[in-house]
Structure 1
Amino acid sequence: MIRLNRYIANAGICSRRKADELITAGVVSVNGVVVNELGLKVDPMKDEIRYNGETLKREKNVYVLLNKPKDYITTTDDPQERRTVMHLVEKASRERIYPIGRLDRNTTGLLLMTNDGDLADKLSHPRSNITKLYHVELSKSLAQGDLNKLLFGRSWKTAR
């Protein structure tokens, strides 16, 4: 059993938050009954879920590894219309995928993109205690004072 908003998101229609809006708007039905209250759990193997009259099917899980180049924003949408990583993977999958984690615009590196919400949650949520390793190259020598700031828990932005 999973929450209805998650099922809708897994079908590639929209995010879970947007799915909540669709549910409260009364455009989602389960087994022929319109649902407009949040929190309902459905059985993906038994229940028939419809959105605007169309039966939804869960997407297969997709995983895309992207070597993110410099000058791309790690987001699914940018109101300032800058280039996003989504532009690089728009033909990689028919399913709606999204990045796990973030890399700064000027940062290059491996970025995992998926529609697997469980994996995304496990990899990104602090409760999972997943260790992340970063390889950093600097354009100048690191001053001892900056190194001390990093070693004692101050962020790099503070240490600059």
Structure 2
Amino acid sequence: MRLDKFLTECGLGSRREVKEILRTGEITVNGIIANNPQMNIKENSDEVFYQEKKLEYKKFRYYILNKKAGYITAVEDNSEQTVMELLPDWVIKKDLVPVGRLDKDTEGLLLLTNDGALNHKLLSPKSHVEKTYYADLEKDILEDDLTKLRNGLDIGGYITMPAKASKVDSNKIHLTIKEGKFHQVKKMLEAVGNKVVFLKRISFGKLNLDNLELGEVKEINSEDII
């Protein structure tokens, strides 16, 4: 792989920006200063350092974020804060996109990756990836309401798939769904005469928040996801 491509893939910047970095002499390959952008390297075995930090090549990258409320799930927006602004500097953001979406006022687990094929697979209706939410409700939830949620119900022209629903407290529930329709959890609770006042996604596929603090990010491997 060309050195400039390697550095770009490692998130150091565009090809043009990488060439400027190379001119500074801050890049070394196997202990020797490298300033030729066309230099060929073995990306999986050569040791490349920038400012004494070793660069590790990964074709695909996977991160989970414990999203804060108040941020929209988008890469960029002209008027709203996006989840990308929650990511620390060490996260390589090149080609990184969120998998699916969480509403602006919703907290919780959000997966981000540059693996387009996996992104498509996870969002495909055929995949039926389970997503579990914790919800605070406006009113107490009845057992009959839980049964309706479990069996599937009409949320405005769409009948939801059977879900898992369990009561945490009188007005708090865990709800696991396999779809990702717009405002689905909120619409499901509205369909049983209730309203979500707080919503947090706590798991996605095999992923869960564990001890990840609100706003915190963790890098993971693809096998951790499904």
The TM-score, its normalising length taken from structure 1, stands at: 0.53
Post-superposition Cα deviations, 1:95-115, rounded to whole Å, max 9, x if no partner, equal 220100111111100100000
Q: Report how many residues are paired.
A: 104
Structure 1's unaligned 5+ residue stretches are: 1-10, 13-57
Q: Greater relative contact order: 1 or 2 (C-alpha under 8 angstroms, separation 6 or more)?
A: 2
- The question of whether the paired residues in 2 share the 8 Å contact of 1:62 and 1:95 is answered with no
129-138 or 60-69, which deviates more: 129-138
Look up the equivalent residue of 1:152 and give its one-letter code.
L
- The question of whether the paired residues in 2 share the 8 Å contact of 1:123 and 1:130 is answered with yes
For residues 124 and 88 of structure 2, the distance between their equivalents in structure 1, rounded to whole angstroms, comes to 26
Runs of 4+ in 1 over 6 A off after TM superposition: 143-146
Which SS does the other structure have where 2:86 is aligned?
A: helix
For residues 144 and 62 of structure 2, the distance between their equivalents in structure 1, rounded to whole angstroms, comes to 41
Q: Classify 1:147/1:87 alpha carbon distance in 2 versus 1 (closer, same or farther; 3 Å).
A: same
Post-superposition Cα deviations, 1:3-38, rounded to whole Å, max 9, x if no partner, equal xxxxxxxx79xxxxxxxxxxxxxxxxxxxxxxxxxx
Aligned counterparts, 1:115-134, within 5 A: 115-134=114-133
Which SS does the other structure have where 1:134 is aligned?
A: strand
For residues 73 and 144 of structure 2, the distance between their equivalents in structure 1, rounded to whole angstroms, comes to 31
Q: Classify 1:94/1:72 alpha carbon distance in 2 versus 1 (closer, same or farther; 3 Å).
A: closer
Look up the equivalent residue of 1:153 and give its one-letter code.
D
110-119 or 82-91, which deviates more: 82-91
Question: 1:4 corresponds to which residue?
Answer: none
* RMSD (CA atoms): 3.0
Question: 2:83 corresponds to which residue?
Answer: 85
Which SS does the other structure have where 1:133 is aligned?
A: strand
Question: 1:27 corresponds to which residue?
Answer: none
Question: 1:75 corresponds to which residue?
Answer: 74
For residues 71 and 143 of structure 1, the distance between their equivalents in structure 2, rounded to whole angstroms, comes to 30
Look up the equivalent residue of 1:109 and give its one-letter code.
G
For residues 149 and 124 of structure 1, the distance between their equivalents in structure 2, rounded to whole angstroms, comes to 25
CA offset at residue 94 of structure 1? 4.5
Q: Classify 1:83/1:127 alpha carbon distance in 2 versus 1 (closer, same or farther; 3 Å).
A: same
The TM-score, its normalising length taken from structure 2, stands at: 0.39
**Identity percentage over the alignment?**
40
Question: 1:54 corresponds to which residue?
Answer: none
- More strand by percentage: 2
